[in-house]
Amino acid sequence: MEQQYIPYLTEAYQRGYAMRYKGQPDAPEMKMHYFKAKEDLPRVQRVLGFLQGIVAMGQCESLLDIGSGRGVFLFPLLRDFPQMEVTSIDLFQHRVELLQCIHDGGVANLHPLQADICIWDAQDKSFDVVTILEVMEHIPDTQAVVRNVIRLARNYIIVSVPSKPDDNPEHIHLFSNDDLEQLFLSNGCKSVKFMSVTNHRIMVAYV
């Protein structure tokens, strides 16, 4: 059966790629597999479901996605909320360049940046919602990242982390619910709530 792709993003990526790398013999390979249409992961479904509710209430017109990576969450987000202003930051230049192709190809509400969330100095309360999904377990200075995401968020912060040990050598932390609650409440959040997904913890912090 022929593989289906997300048209909205695939077409923008192809246009932006053609503009960005036209005539460059050393252009990177096109990453079409990122845009395959498939069922969203359960943890992504839960976060999108929460966003549906707060978007309907007018509480999420802008969102910062930290560590967007290969777009496991970001691309379904853009698919489901094509009018939302979305800023994406990542440490890795090649990932930001791929997202820049999507922007250049017509998804003008996507704003990719290469930045380190621990030290990024964007203006206070710049975003209605901040998502940091499958990222905190990678970052050595958890206090720095928590303080900065709280500073940047106006309404909500959504966090997901693994709930069980795994064999990924890049995972340097394993957080319990109590660990996350203490981190965010002690740094100024009003309250938190948790949602259950197999092998993952999802926490919503109210700023």
**pLDDT at residue 3 is higher than 90:** no
- For residue 24, being part of any structural domain is answered with yes
Q: Give the CATH number, domain containing residue 141.
A: 3.40.50.150
**Span 7-23, pLDDT tens digits:** 989 999 999 999 999 98
Domain count across the chain: 1
- For residue 2, being part of any structural domain is answered with no
- For residue 1, being part of any structural domain is answered with no
pLDDT score of 6:
86
Q: Which domain holds residue 171?
A: 7-206
Contact predicate 111/87, CB 8 Å: yes
Single pTM value for the model = 0.94
- pLDDT confidence band for 129 (50 / 70 / 90): very high
Q: What is the mean pLDDT of the chain?
A: 94
- For residue 92, being part of any structural domain is answered with yes
- For residue 193, being part of any structural domain is answered with yes
Query: Is pLDDT larger for residue 205 or for residue 171?
Result: 205
